[in-house]
Amino acid sequence: MPSVSTSSTTPYDVLVLGSGAAGLSLALRLAQKGRSVMVVSKSRLESGSTLWAQGGISAVLDENDSLENHVRDTLVAGGGLCDEEAVRFTVERGPGCIRWLLAQGVQFTRDEEGKQRPLHLTREGGHSHRRVVHAADATGRAVETTLASLAAHHPNITVRERAVVVELIVDRATKRAHGAYLFDRDSGEVEAIGAKTVALCTGGANQVYLYSSNPFGASGDGIAMAWRAGCRVANMEFMQFHPTCLYHKDSRSFLLTEALRGEGGYLRIPTTGERFMPRFDSRAELAPRDVVARAIDHEMKRLGLRHVHLDVTHLPAVFIKEHFPTIYAHCLELGLNITKEPIPVVPSAHFTCGGVMTDLKARTDVDGLYAIGEVACTGLHGANRLASNSLLECLAFAEAAAEDIEQTLSKRPAPPALRQWDASRVTDSDEDVVVSHNWLELRTFMWDYVGIVRTTKRLERALHRVELLQQEIQDYYGHYKITAHLVELRNLVVCAELIVRSAMLRKESRGLHYTLDYPQTLPQARPTILSPA
Ligand SMILES: Cc1cc2nc3c(=O)[nH]c(=O)nc-3n(C[C@H](O)[C@H](O)[C@H](O)COP(=O)(O)OP(=O)(O)OC[C@H]3O[C@@H](n4cnc5c(N)ncnc54)[C@H](O)[C@@H]3O)c2cc1C
C-alpha cells in the first residue's frame, strides 16, 4: 500500500510498461527523438507473445493488392463490429511500419530474385491477397530480438527486467497518470517510478483460461490496472481460441499449426477413433478456425474428454518430418512419434480482442496514459481478429502514440513527489497454496463456463465464483507481501470479471462470442463498453 514518504527517483519522459512489439517500438521511436525512456518487463526484455508469433505481419505491399482490400477483409473478419475509422487508420500505416522495421534491421524473408517486390508475402486465412510479411515461421522472434537489442544499447533507454508493475500511479482528482509501482522480483522491494507519460504495453489476458497458447505472463495486468485507474474497457467477451494446442503434462502453450489439418490431418475422438469434423461442417477439418474450435469444445463437453486427437499417421512420415520439423522434434522429445501416434490436442486461448479503450492516438481515459497493442481496444478487431493484424496494430499505434507524445510532452509538467510503497503492515505468507489453488480454480472454471461455447447459466455460475475469489484474493493481498504470482492472480480475476460481465451483456452470438441462449446475430452491431464505478 502507498504511504506518505516521497520518491527521489528522477522522473522519465516516458515510462513504457511492457517490452513486446508495442512497447519496444514505442520506446525506440521516442528514444530516437531524444526522449528519456524506461522500459519495464516482468521477465526478460525479449518477452511476451511477440516472441512467439509465427505467421507474420499484414501490410499491403503487393501491386495487385490495395488498402481497400485489406480494410474489407478486416471488416468481414470483425463480424460487423470493427470501427471502420480505426481499421482504415491501421491499414494505411501498414507499409510505413514495415519500412520502419526494415530500417531497424529486422530480417524478413525476401522474395525470389527477379520478382518485383523485395519481400516475400504469404497469404493467410481471411486475407483475399498475399499480404503477410514474415521471417520464415518465426516472425515475432525476428522482430523482438532486433528491437530488444537496439533498446538494450540505446543511451536514452533504461531497461528494467524482472520488474512487475503492481499498480499505476494516478492522481484521482485530476485523473492524470504520474508513474507506476514496480515490484523487483530479485530484491522483493517495491519502487515508485515517476514519468510525464505512461504507456501500457502489457499484452493480453489469455492466461485467464486453463489452456492458452500465450506465455505465462499474459495475465491481463494492464487491463486490470487501467480498469482500477478509471479507464473504460471494451469488447472483453471476444477471446480468440486457437483450435489445436498440444495437450501434454510436460509441454504447455505449444501450438500445432493449422497447416497440419491443411495438409490432411484428421480430428478424432480418442476413445472411438471417430473422425468427427464431417458431422459439423462440410469442409470438415478445413472449416474456419472458430468452427473447428467450437466443434472440438462441443465433443469434449459432450463426452467429458480432456482432449481430442489430431491424427497425421496416414500421411507419409518423410513428408511430416520435412514439412513440420519443429513439431515432429518437439513431440518426439516428449516421447510422442507423430508419424505413428495421434497427437492429443485442446483448443487454447490465443488472442484478446477487447481491452482498454483508446482513441486513434492510443490515448486512454486517464490523461497521460496510453495503451498500445493487445492490452488495448482500438476498434480494429471488432468481434474477431483477422490473422496477422495484431502485430500491425502494435506497430501502427506505437507510431501514433509516439507522434502524440512528441507533440504534447513539452506541455506536461514533471510528476509530483510520489508516495513510496508501504509494506509495514503485511507479512510473509505462510500459505502460498491459496495463490496456486485460486489460480488453477479461476482458470478451470473460466475454461469450463466462459470458454468457446457459452450459456447464460454457465456465465452466472462463473460470475458467482469470480466474486468469491475476488474477496479472497483481495483479503490475501491486504495481508501478505507481494509476489509476482499474487500480482498476476489479482489481475486475472479482474479480467475474468470483465469477460464474464461483457459476455452477459451481449444478447446475441457474434464473431467469437457464441451462446446457446442467443444463437442469432442482432441486426445492429454495438460494442460492449464497461465503465468503472
Ligand atoms: C503463439 C502465438 C502466435 C502468434 N502469431 C501471430 C502472428 O503470426 N501475427 C500476429 O499479428 N500476431 C500473432 N500473435 C499475436 C501477437 O503475437 C500478439 O498480439 C502481440 O505480440 C502482442 O504484442 P504486445 O506488445 O501487445 O504484448 P506482448 O508481446 O505480449 O508483450 C507484453 C509485455 O508486457 C510485459 N508485462 C506484462 N505485464 C507486466 C507487468 N505487470 N509488469 C511488467 N511487465 C509486464 C511482458 O513482460 C512483455 O514484455 C501470436 C500470438 C501467439 C501467442
Contact call for residues 398 and 22 (beta carbons, < 8 A): yes
Q: Which atom, in ligand 1's list, is nearest to the CA of 203?
A: 27
Pocket of ligand 1 (CB under 6 A): 17-23, 40-43, 47-50, 52-57, 139-140, 164-165, 201-203, 213-214, 217-218, 221, 255, 351, 373-375, 388, 390-391, 394
Length of the chain: 533
Burial class for 361, CB neighbours closer than 10 Å (0-12, 13-18, 19+): middle
Q: Rounded CA gap, 530 and 512, in Å?
A: 18
Choose the residue to mutate in 49, 106, 132, 381 for probing ligand 1, maximizing ligand atoms within 8 Å of C-beta: 49
Q: Which candidate, 209, 279, 237, 136, places its Cα nearest to that of 456?
A: 237
Distance 414 CA to ligand 1 centre (A): 30
Q: Which candidate, 198, 523, 185, 227, places its Cα nearest to that of 356?
A: 227
The single-letter code of the amino acid at 94 is G
Distance 72 CA to ligand 1 centre (A): 25
Q: What share of the chain is helix, strand, coil (3-state, %, to 5)?
A: 40, 20, 40
55-60-65 Cα angle (round to 5): 115
Q: Rounded CA gap, 289 and 381, in Å?
A: 16
49-52-53 Cα angle (round to 5): 90
Q: Which atom, in ligand 1's list, is nearest to the CA of 50?
A: 21
Q: Is 279 one of the annotated active-site residues of the chain?
A: no
Which phi and psi angles does 317 have, rounded to 5°? -60, -40
Q: Which atom, in ligand 1's list, is nearest to the CA of 43?
A: 47
Set 289, 385, 454, 465: catalytic member: 289
Q: Which candidate, 7, 363, 8, 19, places its Cα nearest to that of 158?
A: 19
Contact call for residues 2 and 419 (beta carbons, < 8 A): yes
Q: Which atom, in ligand 1's list, is nearest to the CA of 140?
A: 17
Distance 203 CA to ligand 1 centre (A): 5
Full pLDDT tens readout for the chain, 533 residues: 554 444 446 789 999 999 999 999 999 999 999 999 999 999 999 999 999 988 899 999 999 999 999 999 999 999 999 999 999 999 999 999 999 999 999 999 998 765 667 899 988 778 899 899 999 878 999 999 999 999 999 999 999 999 999 999 999 999 999 999 999 999 999 999 999 999 999 999 999 999 999 999 999 999 999 999 999 999 999 999 999 999 998 877 788 888 788 889 999 999 999 999 999 999 899 888 888 999 999 999 899 999 999 999 999 999 999 888 888 999 999 999 999 999 999 999 999 999 999 999 999 999 999 999 999 999 999 999 998 999 999 999 999 999 999 999 999 999 999 999 988 888 888 778 889 999 999 999 999 999 999 999 999 999 999 999 999 999 999 998 999 999 999 999 999 999 999 999 999 999 999 999 999 999 999 999 999 98
Q: Rounded CA gap, 6 and 167, in Å?
A: 16
Distance 198 CA to ligand 1 centre (A): 18
Q: Is 105 left (phi over 0), alpha (psi -120 to 50) or beta?
A: left
Q: Looking at ligand 1, which residue's alpha carbon is closest to its atom 33?
A: 18
Predicted local distance difference test score (pLDDT) of residue 322: 85
